[in-house]
Copies of this chain bind each other. A is one copy, B any other.
Amino acid sequence: MALDTAGRVRRAAVKLFAAKGFHGTGIRELAQESGLSTASLYHYMGSKEDLLADIMCDCLRTLLDAATAVAARVDDPVPRVVELVKLHVRTHARKPKETRIVDHEIHALAPSARRTVVALRDSYESVWSEAVAEGVRRGAFRTNQPGVTRIALLEMCNGVARWYSPRGSLSLEDLAEHHADVALKALGACPHGPAEGQSRGE
């Protein structure tokens, strides 16, 4: 049925855009991978660029929604950051192609679509910023460069999409925990029992 075909187009685009880049992917390849003619492709997408924008927005919106839910559910900054890191890592490990597209193909968007995508990304990152800032405020984190640390950690976690393979020996959960661990260290928190011990120290 229709949804199925639309899904096939989407999956083909995700696969090819991630593998060869947006500009490196022709619509004839896209059509072949989808099992359609190039003309039929245009029943399921506005334009090649619309397709790209859709993929990026969907991916970012899902991530943003999940992060917002985490921030609403977890008050304590330390477990909140832990959850945010794990969410980010899991998403990048499970959807490496989508997330790589988000990270690598923003330059391929025309200004208006780019603004939308960047706004979504900024919203998402502000959930991180807020968590870090709250941790600093409550004395749970000790870092004199919270902004730099936040962006450095984000880049580290983005990298997961570029190298992690579920076929390797490392389980996804171990991967997520490892990154959460590094994040807490980078932010100057003790991994298991942080806020308490640190607030005492001050």
Contact = CB atoms under 8 A, between A and B. Distances in A.
Contacts of A162: 155
> Do most interface residues of chain A lie in helix, strand or loop, or is the interface mixed?
helix
A185 interface: yes
Contact of A159 (B145, B154, B175, B186): B154
B154 A21 contact: no
A159 B163 contact: no
Complex copy number for this chain: 4
- Place the interface of chain A in its size category: 20 to 34
B149 A182 contact: yes
A1 B105 CA distance: 37
Interface string A122-161: 0000000000000000000000010011011111101110
A23 interface: yes
B24 A145 contact: no
A73 interface: no
Contact of A107 (B21, B151, B155): B21
12 contacts: A20-B107, A21-B22, A22-B24, A23-B24, A24-B108, A104-B104, A145-B170, A145-B174, A155-B156, A182-B182, A182-B186, A186-B186
Interface of A: 19-24, 104, 107-108, 145, 148-149, 151-156, 158-160, 162-163, 170, 174-175, 178-179, 182, 185-186
Nearest 4 pairs of A and B residues by beta carbon: A155-B159, A23-B23, A156-B156, A185-B185
